[in-house]
Amino acid sequence: MKNQKGFTLIELLLVLAIIGIISAIAIPALLGQRESARQKSTVSAAGAIKAEIANTAEGIRKSGVTPTAALVQAAVAAMTNYGPTVAKNPYFPGEGCYNFAAASAKNGQVGVIAGTVVGPDTVTYDCISVSFQHAASGGVITSPVGIDN
């Protein structure tokens, strides 16, 4: 019986304690990275739709038609890249990322609404408001994209 080999109870408890300490440090850091990635994904989706709005407005203008906010919004909404089956909400994977009917109502959703804005020269301009929830700022961030008439 003197040739039995193995770990003592103290050694096993020490290893478990070390694993517990490492887990206590690593898990909160990893959870923070998930939230950061979701926020970056939402900001990226808002940037992508803003660029697409500008490109679509320019394409309509080049075709000889004066772009309006409603016309550009409808054209972008009809693109398959921004449909609910392609662009997923990072917070709610079963839902689409873009909402072309209302402003952003929850995290991960990008609202795209056609409307007007009054410029500093008191002239009213057609624009499309792109809004999204941003958990870090605690609210909705809205950015208009001008549609030059």
Ranges of the chain whose pLDDT falls below 50: none
pLDDT at position 81 is: 84
2 within some domain: no
Residue 4 in any domain: the answer is no
pLDDT of residue 149: 56
In this prediction, residue 2 carries a pLDDT of 66
Q: Residue 120 to residues 71, 117, 124, 126, 129: CA-CA distances in angstroms?
A: 24, 10, 9, 14, 17
Domain hosting 85: range is 11-146
| Token duo for residue 108 | 């991960």
Res 20: pLDDT: 94
Would you say residue 3 lies in a domain?
no
Amino acid 137: pLDDT? 62
Instruction: With respect to residue 97, please indicate whether it lies within any of the assigned structural domains.
Output: yes
The answer to the question of residue 36 being in a domain is: yes
Global confidence as pTM = 0.74
* Range list of H helices, the chain: 9-62, 69-77
Sign of the dihedral defined by the CA atoms of residues 66, 70, 79, 149, in that order = positive
Q: Looking at the 3D structure of the chain, how many domains does it have?
A: 1
Kindly report, residue by residue over 87-118, the tens digit of the pLDDT. Answer: 888 988 888 899 998 888 788 889 999 888 77
